[in-house]
Structure 1
């Protein structure tokens, strides 16, 4: 029975994320989510009372993984190698979760600002950004390092209309993010 409940919850999350991507968070109703799932609103309410509850549930796992990454980063020496490993580990997390969450956050920035989960995500991203920045580096290098996680986020769902694989997209995102935290300009050799 618990397994069935988990399956239903996961289906609701997937369908809600799909509808949020199609028509936006604000324009999607719980009724539409229930209809797409072919369940009653009461069945949907059993799992989630509001759209915000669905969004929070979607981001809970991501926030937990970010917390673990930030904790790991704080326990490491503040070196170039640690910053590069943070980039790789963050990329691994992004690609493990699929493009839906970051696309939702990107396309619904206004909504994310209004929801408590948006503030939590912003706080985690700030913590990651602080670990990626070398405070002794020139300001331009600090800015580049701050841009690294956002580069990975964009690469995660950008170029949908290009004929490239997820692995190619991931590799390109990591390459650019590593270049940003390295403080050296990219040169084609």
Structure 2
């Protein structure tokens, strides 16, 4: 079971492997990664430790598998975006799809935020940083002015901040997510329109 951006819990459907991932992530969030043992995970699942070993030998394997599974849509989005024309519509659609991917993987990203030392040791952080750079390169024009580069980066970080900050604000969760997305799309739109604004015609000096 995982925790969404608004603090509610949801159960991912799936097989035993996914149940192990969900329960492990919940325990990591409740009592900390270091304090959670494989035995506790097995007990919460109602299975033997041997049955757990069939799927995962270590806690590290569980976290890495979660990262690979829950961030796969981001990798697919990057590949899709690279094949599209660098239009405003493409950039806006990338931001929308990335927002959906983050929402689906919110429990994992919360774990990464709260356990940065563990994330660095497992090199998950490096992989995620690489994906962020590639995503940035798709929504940002190569010759963009500095202010437009900042706008594009801010659009992505706005979506990230929405997972952690917006839960402290009152209001309907869907409306909060929509507000965060609107701001992110607006930033990318401003950057694109600024980069593609026609230059002023030179004055006739004759």
TM-score w.r.t. length of structure 2:
0.77
* Match status 1:148 vs 2:188: no
Structure 1 gap segments, 5+ residues each: 1-5, 185-189
- Counterpart-to-counterpart distance in 1, 2:45 and 2:83: 44
- Counterpart-to-counterpart distance in 1, 2:187 and 2:30: 32
Corresponding residue for residue 125 of structure 1: 132
- Counterpart-to-counterpart distance in 2, 1:112 and 1:46: 24
- Counterpart-to-counterpart distance in 2, 1:20 and 1:140: 39
Match of 1:173 among 165, 175, 180: 180
Larger Rg: 2
Cα RMSD of the aligned pairs, angstroms, is 2.0
Deviates more, 1:97-106 or 1:175-184: 175-184
Corresponding residue for residue 187 of structure 1: none
CA offsets 1:14-43 (integer angstroms, 9 cap, x no match): 111111112232332222222322333222
Do 1:59 and 1:101's aligned partners in 2 also have CA atoms closer than 8 Å?
Answer: yes
SS class of match (2:129) = helix
* Match status 1:12 vs 2:15: no
- Counterpart-to-counterpart distance in 2, 1:180 and 1:111: 32
Match of 1:78 among 83, 86, 94: 86
1:98 Cα deviation from its structure 2 partner:
4.5
- The verdict on how the C-alpha distance between 1:102 and 1:169 changes in structure 2, with shifts beyond 3 A counting, is farther
Match of 2:119 among 109, 112, 116: 112
Corresponding residue for residue 159 of structure 1: 166
Corresponding residue for residue 69 of structure 2: 61
**Paired residue total:** 178
SS class of match (2:71) = helix
Deviates more, 1:44-53 or 1:130-139: 130-139
